[in-house]
Protein backbone atom coordinates (compact mmCIF):
# COMPACT_ATOMS: atom_id res chain seq x y z
CA UNK A 1 0.00 0.00 0.00
CA UNK A 2 2.81 2.43 0.88
CA UNK A 3 4.57 1.53 -2.33
CA UNK A 4 1.39 2.17 -4.31
CA UNK A 5 0.83 5.50 -2.55
CA UNK A 6 4.40 6.56 -3.32
CA UNK A 7 3.91 5.64 -6.96
CA UNK A 8 0.63 7.51 -7.13
CA UNK A 9 2.22 10.64 -5.72
CA UNK A 10 4.88 10.58 -8.43
CA UNK A 11 2.26 10.00 -11.12
CA UNK A 12 0.04 12.81 -9.83
CA UNK A 13 2.96 15.25 -9.86
CA UNK A 14 3.89 14.28 -13.39
CA UNK A 15 0.39 14.17 -14.91
CA UNK A 16 -0.79 17.38 -13.36
CA UNK A 17 2.47 19.21 -13.97
CA UNK A 18 2.96 20.07 -10.28
CA UNK A 19 6.59 20.97 -10.92
CA UNK A 20 7.24 22.57 -7.54
CA UNK A 21 6.22 19.51 -5.55
CA UNK A 22 8.07 16.38 -4.48
CA UNK A 23 6.29 13.16 -3.49
CA UNK A 24 7.13 13.71 0.16
CA UNK A 25 5.27 17.06 0.01
CA UNK A 26 1.95 15.25 -0.51
CA UNK A 27 0.47 13.77 2.65
CA UNK A 28 -1.14 10.31 2.46
CA UNK A 29 -4.40 11.68 3.82
CA UNK A 30 -4.10 15.27 2.62
CA UNK A 31 -7.23 16.37 0.71
CA UNK A 32 -6.31 16.65 -2.96
CA UNK A 33 -9.17 18.90 -4.08
CA UNK A 34 -10.34 22.38 -3.15
CA UNK A 35 -8.18 22.86 -0.06
CA UNK A 36 -5.01 20.81 0.46
CA UNK A 37 -3.42 20.43 -2.94
CA UNK A 38 -6.04 22.66 -4.57
CA UNK A 39 -6.83 20.46 -7.58
CA UNK A 40 -9.96 21.12 -9.63
CA UNK A 41 -12.45 19.41 -11.92
CA UNK A 42 -10.05 19.31 -14.88
CA UNK A 43 -7.45 17.57 -12.71
CA UNK A 44 -10.13 15.06 -11.70
CA UNK A 45 -10.64 14.21 -15.37
CA UNK A 46 -6.90 13.76 -15.79
CA UNK A 47 -6.86 11.38 -12.83
CA UNK A 48 -9.72 9.38 -14.30
CA UNK A 49 -7.58 8.78 -17.39
CA UNK A 50 -4.59 7.96 -15.16
CA UNK A 51 -6.67 5.22 -13.48
CA UNK A 52 -7.64 3.81 -16.83
CA UNK A 53 -4.31 4.06 -18.58
CA UNK A 54 -2.00 2.92 -15.78
CA UNK A 55 -4.28 0.78 -13.63
CA UNK A 56 -6.87 -0.40 -16.16
CA UNK A 57 -9.75 0.73 -13.96
CA UNK A 58 -12.63 2.59 -15.61
CA UNK A 59 -14.46 5.24 -13.62
CA UNK A 60 -17.61 5.78 -15.63
CA UNK A 61 -19.15 8.64 -13.69
CA UNK A 62 -17.21 11.82 -13.13
CA UNK A 63 -19.40 12.37 -10.02
CA UNK A 64 -17.71 9.40 -8.26
CA UNK A 65 -14.45 11.29 -8.60
CA UNK A 66 -14.59 13.33 -5.36
CA UNK A 67 -14.95 10.15 -3.27
CA UNK A 68 -12.26 8.17 -5.04
CA UNK A 69 -9.79 11.01 -5.37
CA UNK A 70 -10.30 12.51 -1.94
CA UNK A 71 -6.72 11.67 -0.94
CA UNK A 72 -3.83 9.53 -2.12
CA UNK A 73 -4.90 6.88 0.39
CA UNK A 74 -8.50 6.72 -0.91
CA UNK A 75 -7.12 6.43 -4.45
CA UNK A 76 -4.82 3.59 -3.40
CA UNK A 77 -7.70 1.85 -1.60
CA UNK A 78 -9.89 2.08 -4.68
CA UNK A 79 -7.15 0.75 -6.94
CA UNK A 80 -6.42 -2.12 -4.58
CA UNK A 81 -10.12 -3.08 -4.45
CA UNK A 82 -10.85 -2.72 -8.17
CA UNK A 83 -7.62 -3.71 -9.81
CA UNK A 84 -8.28 -6.30 -12.58
CA UNK A 85 -5.00 -8.09 -11.75
CA UNK A 86 -6.09 -8.54 -8.17
CA UNK A 87 -9.50 -9.82 -9.27
CA UNK A 88 -7.89 -12.38 -11.51
CA UNK A 89 -5.72 -13.78 -8.73
Partner 1 sequence: MNPPVFVAGLGVVSAIGLDAAACLHSFETEEAGMADIKILHTRLRGKLPVAEVKLSNEALAELTGLSSGMPRTALLSALAAREALADAGIFNFKDLRAGFISANTVGGMDKTEDFFESFMMNAAAGKLRDVVYHECGSITEIVADHLGINHFISTVSTACSSSANAVFTGARMIRHGLLDLALVGGADALTRFTLNGFNTLMILDKSFCKPFDEHRQGLNLGEGAGYLVLVSEEIMNRLNKSAYCRIAGYSNANDAYHQTASSPGGTGSFLAMKNALENSGLVPGDIDYINLHGTGTNNNDIAEGTAIKLLFDPVYPKMSSTKSFTGHTLGASGGMEAVFSALAIRHGIIYPNLRFETPMKELPFTPVTKFLNHQRVKHVISNSFGFGGNCTSLVFSAS
Partner 2 sequence: MQVYIRSTGNISPQHSLEKDLFFAHREMQDGNRWHAVEPEYSRYVDSKMIRRMSRIVRMGVAASKACLDEAEVRMPSGIVTGTAYGCLEDTGIFLRRMIDNQEELLTPTAFIQSTHNTVGAQIALLLKCHGYNNTIVHRGFSFENALMDAMLLLREGMDNVLAGAIDEITEDSHAILSRFGLYIPANDNPEITAKKHKGSVAGEGASFFLLSSQEIHGARAILRGTSTIYKPESLAGVESRIHAFLKESSVLSDGIGLVLSGANGDGDHDEIDDYLSATAFRNKTIIPFKQLCGEYPTASGFALWLAVLLISEQKTPDWLPNVSFPLRNILIHNHYDNSHHALYLISAC
In b/e form, how buried is each residue of 32-59, taking b as 16+ CB within 10 angstroms? bbeeebebeeebbeebbebbeeebebeb
- Tell me the closest approach of the beta carbon of residue 41 to partner 1, in angstroms: 6
- The contacts of residue 8 (CB under 8 Å, 6+ apart) are 72, 75, 76, 79
From 16-24, 26-34, 67-75, 77-85, give the range in contact with partner 2 by CB under 8 A: 16-24
Residue 44, helix vs strand vs coil: helix
Q: Which residues bind partner 1 (CB under 8 A)?
A: 40-42, 45, 48-49, 62
The CB density around residue 72, as the number of other CB atoms within 10 Å, is 23
Which one of residues 46, 64, 80, 81 is an interface residue with partner 2 (CB under 8 A)?
46
Say which entry of partner 2, partner 1, none residue 62 contacts (CB below 5 to 8 A, set by partner kind): partner 1
- Tell me the closest approach of the beta carbon of residue 38 to partner 2, in angstroms: 6
| 29 near partner 2, rule: CB under 8 A | no
Say which entry of partner 1, partner 2, none residue 52 contacts (CB below 5 to 8 A, set by partner kind): partner 2
Amino acid sequence: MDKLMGQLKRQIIERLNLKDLKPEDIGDDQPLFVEGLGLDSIDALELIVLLQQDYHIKLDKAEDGPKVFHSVRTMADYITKHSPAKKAS
